[in-house]
């Protein structure tokens, strides 16, 4: 008991107790939702058992008739994470997401270099949304202040380094860093070690 007081202090324990009570009432499948939390379009969000969040998280789902944001079992989301879904964002089981992470399957307008491109003279907020599915597979660890952009799949067991921007698919069991994020290490299951990737 003394260790708990040394870790959190009395005021933090009181706050956690209130958050736990609110979690049991409003999100019974979750483990702990720290308040405040901003959830928009709740009926279009699937939350499996064991979800833990930090403070100030924002979960958004914009849909007309189907679930578009799925959070698997035992997902841990830390402070000020922002996830928005219009088409499909799937977060697998046992995913760890650090603080200030942004994940989105949509953007205001199109910028891919084709006839559908948005004109810079148009007002950004009025540009038609472009959407593309995001998949984060099981056991992924996403570092602090990472951005994951539309159309990305992150393979099982992959780690994304802090401040990275994920613009393209990443394979399973790699460590990826940078903007855009690229794999720099891959796990070798034969010798149980992370090894540097010598050619990309």
Write the CATH number for 177. 2.160.10.10
**Nearest CA-CA partner of 174 in 121, 137, 145, 149:** 137
Over residues 103-138, the pLDDT tens digits come to: 999 999 888 888 888 999 999 989 888 999 999 999
pTM: 0.91
* Omega cis (within 30) before 33: no
User: For residue 15, is it within any domain?
Assistant: no
The residues, any chain, with a CB within 8 Å of residue 100's CB and separated by 6 or more, are 79, 80, 81, 144, 145
- Asked if 108 is an active-site residue, the reply is yes
Query: Tell me: the pLDDT tens digits for 46-81?
Result: 999 999 999 999 999 999 899 999 999 999 999 999
Cβ neighbors of 146 (< 8 A, separation 6 or more) are 98, 101, 102, 160, 161, 162, 163, 164, 165, 166, 181
- Domain encompassing residue 184: 30-196
Please report, for residues 60, 79, 81, the alpha-carbon distance to residue 160 in angstroms, rounded to integers and kept in the order given: 22, 17, 15
Structural domain contains residue 83:
yes
How many structural domains is the chain composed of? 1
Of the candidates 58, 67, 108, 185, the residue annotated as catalytic is 108
């Amino acid at each position: 008991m003394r260790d708990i007081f040394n870790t959190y202090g009395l005021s933090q324990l009181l706050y956690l107790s209130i958050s736990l009570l609110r979690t049991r009432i409003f999100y019974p499948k979750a483990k702990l939702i720290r308040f405040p939390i901003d959830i928009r379009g709740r009926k279009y969000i699937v939350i499996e058992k064991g979800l833990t969040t930090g403070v100030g998280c924002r979960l958004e789902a914009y849909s007309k008739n189907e679930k578009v944001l799925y959070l698997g079992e035992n997902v841990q989301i830390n402070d000020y994470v922002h996830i928005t879904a219009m088409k499909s964002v799937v977060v697998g089981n046992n995913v760890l997401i650090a603080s200030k992470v942004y994940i989105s399957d949509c953007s205001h307008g199109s910028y891919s270099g084709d006839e559908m491109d948005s004109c810079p003279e148009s007002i950004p907020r009025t540009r038609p949304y472009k959407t593309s599915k995001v998949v984060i597979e099981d056991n992924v660890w996403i570092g602090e202040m990472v951005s994951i952009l539309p159309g990305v799949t992150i393979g099982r067991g992959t780690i994304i380094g802090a401040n990275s921007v994920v613009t393209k698919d990443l394979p399973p069991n790699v460590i990826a860093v940078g903007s855009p994020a690229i794999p720099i290490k891959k796990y070798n299951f034969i010798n149980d070690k992370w090894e540097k990737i010598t050619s990309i």
